[in-house]
Structures are given as structure tokens and as C-alpha cells.
A and B are shown apart, each in its own frame.
With several copies, the nearest count.
Chain A
């Protein structure tokens, strides 16, 4: 039951914050897949998002700003049997923590990384973040920010990610589908979750997250199925080789031209990540590969068991006796 995954702690996000819906979705997904709470650990950095572990009845470690992936890597190495989740924000994960994220991804450490992207630093009261759009006005950019933002999707692909997915905080169906697949993945499963910060960046994603228009503004991907969207699946996505880009076509006319989603295609994944409207959701890229901990243990002569005692080693290459 999802509520078995709720802790006794009072949840302290702002009323109306998108984090509540994500918490619910994760609790539900863990219940759905029958996760063992004692074998599950949530590791987070610092930020509003990073308060997450206090609210979920598993092991939890609220660490320091930006370092959750590194701490989680150590945890996973020490106990590869655990399900280790990392909860981070766009500041925590992509500003101060970018380096650890990069190396986690390239190593393919078996972590489930949920990045709550609200395009703002929530906890420190609303400064622009590395995902904020140019021109974002905030306490640290009263005349609008000038920094070009990073695309989380392009960044993780550039780091050699093996799993990249997207979801919307309030989209129960889409989120629980994605989270189940995250749970099943070996290696780093990275999810960008569009999260609404109602206090400092209200409705930045409204143009595609509004329920009413979602069918037309979101493209829900399923491996092996054509990329269709719209109220009646009447629109599709086609690759235009002239312009080397994706474009929307009328699916009723030209169904045969509509791309079929192949999760293993890194090139199309990058085109999908850049798609503006509709915005691609679900598992955009998945290319399984051996996880870092598996490679580590496979390679470790004793699989971290003590096969010899110190007394077998302590003499070194040569020793002598004084009597």
C-alpha cells in the first residue's frame, strides 16, 4: 500500500507544490512493484526536492548540496543488493552537483536518479538556476538572467547515459509507468520530472502540462510504437532529412512516415529531447549495459569477501628474523 511508504514526519513543502504529487507517485510505484522498504534507500542533496527522504518509509540520507550521487555510489558499492534512489533538484543536480552526475552516468552506477526540475532554486528563495530560461527575473537576476540554460536531457546523453526518461509531477499515469521502468533498470536510470514551484516559478511548464491541452502538447513514447499524439492520435512525428530535425505531421495522411520509437536510438533521443511542442515524455532512451557495481564485483578478485588473512600478506616480498 502506498501509505505504508509514508513516514510519521509532517510534510513541509509549500501548499500546492508539485513535490507532493511526486511523493505520492513514488510511494505508489514502490507499493506497486512490491519494493522491500528495508532494502530501499533514498539519498538526496539539499533543496526543497531533497527533503524527500524524510517523507518516505525506507532508509534515507539527506546529505549535502550536490553530492548525493557520490554518496549513493559509495552506498551502492558497499551493498549492491540495495535499491538506491537519488532525489535531486535542478540546482543540486546540475549546478553544484553536475560533476558527480556526469561521472555516475558514464560509469553507469545502478542508481535511480529523480531530478525535480522546477527551473529555479526553491529552498534558497528563488534565484535562477542552470535550467532557468534566459531572461528569468529572480532576486539574483532582477533584470532577467543572461546565462543560457543547460538541457538536462542533452547533458545526460552527452555523459553517456543508458536510460533517460521524463515525466510531469501531476501526471499520475505517466509517472507511475516511468517509475516502474526506472525500478527495473540496472544501471543509472535518470528521470527529469517537470515540477511546478508555485512560489517562485509558477506555471513555467504550463504550456505543456495543462491537463486540458496535454494530449496535443505531450508526446508519450512507447518502445516499438509509432510516435503519435493528439486527442485522437491524429498527429505524428516524422524525421525530415533535409533539415535533420523532427516535425509534426498529420498522422491520418502519412502514418507510414511517422517514426516508430526505438529506445535504443541515441540520435533520435537527442532530437526528441529538443522537441518543443509536443514535449516528449516517458522513456526516451534506454540502452542497457553492465552496471558499474556489477563490473566492479565481477572484476574484484574476491568479490569483496576476505579470502586471505592479514597474516598471509603482512610479510611482504621478503622478511628476516632477528633472535
Chain B
């Protein structure tokens, strides 16, 4: 690590026990960082167990932050600063570090018992394990308890301020202000005056301690470059937050309420939790008895005139596929959000993956096409939620929006959009005519092929819908062979028609043609962005996966090699071979972990060697 100098960006990892308040400390650090003008990206990495036994390696909770001059698009490859709250945290984090990294250790926790729990036979501080690193140790637990002594808290209450003590130290290291954190503590603990004051005290004490002679001998302040961010108002946002706001915004743009129906599942639940807090924006949440009931209730809500939305992760989406067919057949709008996680089956529920693309594009019985979108960053979840809703209502179809476990929890600075810039979402009009209501309800818009959204309660439009094949014109049940062909063609044409409404594919950066283009989708945006910038190759990132943007084939055709990094076994490659009949070079990583920038850089370099 490049201490005592100005650096462009830096990667910090905080790690400790699940009970140590690491996630809180991390997100507060991120925000205070941002307030000082830095860009950042975070990666919360916590255990599968709810509350694993104290001191164990599988109970380690970590939070990685990459901050500095922008654009920062990933939480960073190798942490350059590690704050290790206990031996287990040290143990699991060490393999991630490059030589020379700075490790800040909480001495107090390195008891014989904790060393054993972490699986250390000897003390790593003394046995040479840390020789390649810069070590700074401090008795954080003890110092913190001293600092808050006067508040008369119990030992465990007092101990809970430790994360703010450590945060104080960090904030000094990066020369950040304490105000925003202080304000946050005051808000959050408004009705627990003692805890509030104790935490604020701990924060200041940590800051002061770092500034003192003893500490600053080993630890010096780091000046981060300011990010060169577009002017505007910013906030920190996770994917779940952005998607929740996006759905609410879509409802507002469509002048319709949003009914969100879901069943809890990792990592989809945060969206449900967020939406319960947006009730005053016309959002309702219904916790159904299972995933099937959830999508069915959403379909019912759409039938009733609200925007029905459901969300889950892979195993839950699997259960919803039969009902998706109904929504396709009945031509009702619906938004289905999939927060992908490691599989198959229960798999690695708290780890990220993007392996549900097959399921989204092809995973239904019969010829049942539907639009598939994908969000690339936490902030982009906002726009994609609006885009998904817009397509659902315009084409009267269910739409799948793919996100993943990483996006759900990862925070980044997000420029607050100007809502006036979004076009309203309009519904197809019921044709005025003497035709039967049934026919009027199935008179499709010529361009989008979307039918009008006729809902029970509207006078004079009584009609019946269902999952049996319908006459392409009258909407009545039809067993006619020729009609089935026409309906099958119409359903395909309707989804193809989406391409007429969406933006052309753009190249994120790099030359317009050349030897290599890297194609990504979803949360691999961050690492691919950096890797392609560093290597100067072209980067194309997909938000619309079905249908693909009309010009995609033409763009990709200008390159010799199409490299496709994916956190799955090559699923987007299948789609591109299928739809564009193009040879691609799949580059898979299926470990439950996001790509490192360097992994992609190396791959590009090795490809270049071949060229």
C-alpha cells in the first residue's frame, strides 16, 4: 500500500464477528466517504448462519469498500487495508490480500480461546504469518470500554460501541469528518439517549486515539483523490433500495398503484422489506403463503388494475413458471424480479451468481416468450424497474427483470434522477366500437401488439379471459388449428416488437471495431468496466436480453473475438449463438464470488496474445 501519499483509490475490508456491527460500520464509512467527494462501491459479505457461534470462521461478517477518485465500479480486487476484529476475521481475510497490505488488528480479541476457534495453533501476530504485511495493532475493545465508561453501561452494551470507535479511527485515517456519522447516530438512537451519547463518544475517542502520537507513528493519514463525478445530487443506494424506488416511480408514471406480492427468500427479501416502507406512494405489499400464490396474487392484482409485481430468487422463480404462462396467455402486465443466487437447488443461498438466464429466456413450457431485462448496477435497478413496468403495460405481458445477490446488498453513490425526465407510462386504449366487449378487450395495438388493460369494474366491458387458446381476433376460446398458429406467431411477434421501442445498443467505451469486444450483462458490469478500461478493449453491456437490441449483431460483427465473462456456465453465450448465430468465447466463474478485475484483465491479455 502506498501510505503517506495521495492515492487514487483504495480498497478497505472490515471483518469481524456477526455481532460486531461490521455492516453498519461499513455503510456509515461509505456515506461519510461520499460526502467528502469520493466515489465508492461496497460488497457486504456475510455468513449463511443467522448468528453463528462467536469467534468461528464461518461466523465472520465482512464489508469491503472501494473508494476514491472515480469511476469506482467494483468493491475492488485485493483489500489494501484490512481491519480484523478477531482472529477468525484475520484468518478468512488473509488469502484475499496482496503483500504489503496494511492490517489493523484488535489485539484484545486475540485470546487463546479465540485463536483456537479460528483454527490457529500459534498466534499469527508472532509466528511470522504476517511478515509480508504492515501491521498496526490496538486494544480496541479495551480502549472503547474506557472511553464509554462514564455512561454506566453494562459490559456488553458498552462493547457494542466498539464499531464506532474503530470507525472513528478509520475516519481519521482518511481525513473524513465525523458529522454525518454523528447525525446518523442521533437519528437512529433518538429514543435511547445513553446509547446515542456513548456511541458518539466512542466515535470521537477512536478518532482522537488515531490522531495521538503512538498511533500516528504507525498509521498515517491518506489523502484520497476526489472523484470526478457528474454534478448533481447524490445518495448512497443498494440494489434493493433502488429497485423499490423504481417500482414506486413506475407506479407514479403510470398513475396506478403497485401491488407487490412475494414470499421471503434470500437474497430477494430486502426488496419486500424496502417496499413495506413506501406505502404512502401507492405501494401495497402482500406476503403470500408461497411463491406460486405470490405470482398468482400479483396476476390477480394486475387483472384488477394495479401493477402486479412479484420477486424471488431461482428456486422460487422455478415455482412461478407455470403461472407465467398464464400471464402470457391472458396477456396481462406483470413484473417478475429475480435476485439470482448460487445454485442448483438450495445451493449457496447467500452467494451471488447469474445462472438463471436460461430459466428467464427459455424456462417455460410451450412457446411462451417474454421480455427479459437485466440491471447492471445497484443504481440502475431504479431505471430498469421503470423500464420493465413500461414494457409490461405497453405490450401487456409479464416481464422478467434479472438482478442478483450482489446488487441486492451492494451500495454505491447514485445521482438522484430528475423524475420529470421520465416519460409517463401510458396504457393502451380500449377501442370505441360496436364490437363485443370480448373483442374490444383483445384488440391489440398495431405496433406493440399490446391489448387494452380492461379490468373488472369497468361498465359495458364484461368479458372473460383464461389460459385456453383464444381466437386471435375475438379473444374467445378457440381450438382452431390455424388460429393456434396465428396466436403462436402473434405472441412471438409481440415480444420481438419490444425491440422497436428500446434504445439501440451502445458501446460503453473502446473502439467501434477491432480484435476484442467484451460482452457482459448484470452485475459483472463493474469488473468488466475496469478491466476493459485498463486494457483499452471495447465493452458492450446488455440491459435488454430478450429481445436483444436490433443493432447488437451488427455491432458485435465488427469484432474478431467476443469475450463473455459470466458468473455461470456460459448462458448468455447460448443466447447470442441462438439469436445471432455468433461464435463467442465464454469465460465462466462460478464460485459465488464476483469477478476480480484482474481476472478479466488477464483473460483479455491472454486473448491478445493469441490474436
Chain A interface residues (CB < 8 Å from chain B)? 7, 9-10, 12-15, 37-41, 43, 46, 48, 53-54, 57-67, 70-79, 81-82, 95-96, 98-100, 102-103, 121-125, 127-128, 130, 139-143, 147, 199, 296, 300-302, 304-311, 313-323
Q: Inside 8 A of A320's CB, which chain B residues have their CB?
A: 34-35, 233-235
Q: Which of B229, B236, B281, B326 has the most CB of A within 10 A?
A: B281
Q: Is B300 an interface residue (CB 8 A)?
A: yes
Q: Is B455 an interface residue (CB 8 A)?
A: yes
- In the assembled complex, the Cα of A236 lies from the Cα of B305 at a distance in Å of 51
Q: Inside 8 A of B482's CB, which chain A residues have their CB?
A: none
Question: Which of the residues B235, B236, B288, B459 comes within 8 Å of A70, measured between beta carbons?
Answer: B288
The contact string, 1 if C-beta is below 8 Å from chain A, for chain B 262-273, is 011110010011
Question: Which of the residues A124, A141, A311, A322 comes within 8 Å of B230, measured between beta carbons?
Answer: A322
User: Are A308 and B293 in touch, CB under 8 angstroms?
Assistant: no
- In the assembled complex, the Cα of A58 lies from the Cα of B322 at a distance in Å of 26
**Given A74-B308, A314-B416, is A43 in contact with B460 using a C-beta cutoff of 8 Å?**
no
Q: Inside 8 A of B241's CB, which chain A residues have their CB?
A: 316
- In the assembled complex, the Cα of A142 lies from the Cα of B53 at a distance in Å of 28
- In the assembled complex, the Cα of A70 lies from the Cα of B291 at a distance in Å of 11
User: Are B297 and A9 in touch, CB under 8 angstroms?
Assistant: no
Q: Inside 8 A of B300's CB, which chain A residues have their CB?
A: 43, 70-78
User: Are A62 and B465 in touch, CB under 8 angstroms?
Assistant: yes
Q: Inside 8 A of B292's CB, which chain A residues have their CB?
A: 67, 70, 100
- In the assembled complex, the Cα of A313 lies from the Cα of B229 at a distance in Å of 23
User: Are A306 and B251 in touch, CB under 8 angstroms?
Assistant: yes
Q: Inside 8 A of B232's CB, which chain A residues have their CB?
A: 321-322
User: Are B280 and A308 in touch, CB under 8 angstroms?
Assistant: yes
Question: Which of the residues A14, A78, A99 comes within 8 Å of B301, measured between beta carbons?
Answer: A78
**Given A79-B455, A199-B50, is A61 in contact with B233 using a C-beta cutoff of 8 Å?**
no
Q: Which residue of B lies closest to A122 (CB)?
A: B50
- In the assembled complex, the Cα of A61 lies from the Cα of B454 at a distance in Å of 12
Q: Which residue of B lies closest to A58 (CB)?
A: B462
**Given A59-B464, A77-B284, A128-B287, is A310 in contact with B53 using a C-beta cutoff of 8 Å?**
no
State the total of A-B contacts with C-beta under 8 angstroms.
284
Choose the segment among B179-187, B495-503, B555-563 that binds chain A (4+ C-beta atoms closer than 8 Å). B179-187
Q: Inside 8 A of B289's CB, which chain A residues have their CB?
A: 70, 95-96, 98-100, 102-103, 130
The contact string, 1 if C-beta is below 8 Å from chain A, for chain B 24-60, is 0000000100110100000000000111111010100
Q: Is B285 an interface residue (CB 8 A)?
A: yes
**Given A64-B326, A95-B290, is A315 in contact with B281 using a C-beta cutoff of 8 Å?**
no
The contact string, 1 if C-beta is below 8 Å from chain A, for chain B 61-83, is 00000000000000000000000
- In the assembled complex, the Cα of A72 lies from the Cα of B457 at a distance in Å of 14
User: Are B297 and A70 in touch, CB under 8 angstroms?
Assistant: yes
B525 to chain A, nearest CB (A): 21
Q: Is B476 an interface residue (CB 8 A)?
A: yes
B233 to chain A, nearest CB (A): 5
Q: Inside 8 A of B468's CB, which chain A residues have their CB?
A: 62
Question: 4 shortest A-B CB distances, which residue pairs?
Answer: A74-B300, A78-B304, A62-B466, A74-B297
Q: Is B456 an interface residue (CB 8 A)?
A: yes
Q: Which residue of A lies closest to B265 (CB)?
A: A124
Within 8 A of A (CB), among B288-342: 288-293, 296-306, 308, 315, 322-323, 325-326, 330
Q: Which residue of B lies closest to A323 (CB)?
A: B231
Chain B interface residues (CB < 8 Å from chain A)? 31, 34-35, 37, 49-54, 56, 58, 180, 183-184, 187, 227, 229-237, 241, 245, 248-249, 251-252, 257, 259, 261, 263-266, 269, 272-273, 276-282, 284-293, 296-306, 308, 315, 322-323, 325-326, 330, 345-346, 416-417, 419, 455-468, 476-477
User: Are A309 and B273 in touch, CB under 8 angstroms?
Assistant: no
User: Are A38 and B284 in touch, CB under 8 angstroms?
Assistant: no
B302 to chain A, nearest CB (A): 8
B35 to chain A, nearest CB (A): 5
Question: Which of the residues B323, B417, B463 comes within 8 Å of A64, measured between beta carbons?
Answer: B323
User: Are B282 and A304 in touch, CB under 8 angstroms?
Assistant: yes
User: Are B50 and A309 in touch, CB under 8 angstroms?
Assistant: no
- In the assembled complex, the Cα of A308 lies from the Cα of B234 at a distance in Å of 21
- In the assembled complex, the Cα of A195 lies from the Cα of B315 at a distance in Å of 27
**Given A78-B306, A304-B257, A316-B235, is A63 in contact with B326 using a C-beta cutoff of 8 Å?**
yes
User: Are A96 and B290 in touch, CB under 8 angstroms?
Assistant: yes
Question: Which of the residues B183, B269, B290, B296 comes within 8 Å of A71, measured between beta carbons?
Answer: B296
Question: Which of the residues A61, A130, A296 comes within 8 Å of B330, measured between beta carbons?
Answer: A61
**Given A12-B49, A317-B184, is A78 in contact with B305 using a C-beta cutoff of 8 Å?**
yes
**Given A59-B456, A74-B296, A74-B299, is A300 in contact with B284 using a C-beta cutoff of 8 Å?**
yes
User: Are A316 and B323 in touch, CB under 8 angstroms?
Assistant: no
- In the assembled complex, the Cα of A87 lies from the Cα of B282 at a distance in Å of 31
Q: Which residue of B lies closest to A60 (CB)?
A: B464
Q: Inside 8 A of A7's CB, which chain B residues have their CB?
A: 464
**Given A123-B50, A321-B233, is A38 in contact with B458 using a C-beta cutoff of 8 Å?**
yes
User: Are A54 and B467 in touch, CB under 8 angstroms?
Assistant: no
Q: Inside 8 A of B476's CB, which chain A residues have their CB?
A: 9
Q: Inside 8 A of A300's CB, which chain B residues have their CB?
A: 279, 284
A131 to chain B, nearest CB (A): 12
Q: Which residue of B lies closest to A306 (CB)?
A: B282
- In the assembled complex, the Cα of A41 lies from the Cα of B303 at a distance in Å of 11
User: Are A82 and B457 in touch, CB under 8 angstroms?
Assistant: yes
Q: Inside 8 A of A74's CB, which chain B residues have their CB?
A: 259, 261, 286, 296-304, 308
Q: Inside 8 A of B306's CB, which chain A residues have their CB?
A: 78
User: Are B273 and A140 in touch, CB under 8 angstroms?
Assistant: yes
User: Are A142 and B277 in touch, CB under 8 angstroms?
Assistant: yes
Q: Inside 8 A of A73's CB, which chain B residues have their CB?
A: 286, 293, 296-297, 300
Q: Inside 8 A of B322's CB, which chain A residues have their CB?
A: 64
User: Are A53 and B466 in touch, CB under 8 angstroms?
Assistant: yes
User: Are B456 and A38 in touch, CB under 8 angstroms?
Assistant: yes
Q: Inside 8 A of B58's CB, which chain A residues have their CB?
A: 12
A114 to chain B, nearest CB (A): 17
30 contacts between A and B (CB under 8 A): A38-B456, A53-B466, A54-B466, A58-B462, A59-B456, A61-B330, A61-B465, A61-B466, A64-B296, A64-B315, A70-B297, A74-B259, A74-B303, A75-B300, A78-B259, A78-B301, A79-B305, A79-B455, A82-B456, A95-B263, A100-B292, A296-B286, A300-B284, A301-B280, A310-B281, A313-B248, A317-B187, A318-B183, A318-B235, A322-B230
**Given A82-B304, A319-B416, is A71 in contact with B281 using a C-beta cutoff of 8 Å?**
no
**Given A67-B292, A74-B298, is A139 in contact with B269 using a C-beta cutoff of 8 Å?**
yes
User: Are A77 and B286 in touch, CB under 8 angstroms?
Assistant: yes
Known A14-B49, A64-B346, A82-B457; further 18 A-B contacts with Cβ < 8 A: A14-B50, A46-B467, A70-B288, A74-B261, A74-B301, A77-B259, A78-B257, A78-B308, A79-B305, A96-B263, A125-B269, A140-B276, A147-B287, A310-B248, A310-B249, A314-B416, A318-B236, A322-B229
**Given A70-B292, A103-B289, A306-B282, is A38 in contact with B462 using a C-beta cutoff of 8 Å?**
yes
**Given A38-B462, A74-B286, A304-B284, is A318 in contact with B31 using a C-beta cutoff of 8 Å?**
yes
B582 to chain A, nearest CB (A): 37
Q: Inside 8 A of A306's CB, which chain B residues have their CB?
A: 251-252, 257, 280-282
B59 to chain A, nearest CB (A): 9
Q: Inside 8 A of B291's CB, which chain A residues have their CB?
A: 96
Q: Inside 8 A of A121's CB, which chain B residues have their CB?
A: 264
B533 to chain A, nearest CB (A): 21
User: Are A318 and B180 in touch, CB under 8 angstroms?
Assistant: yes
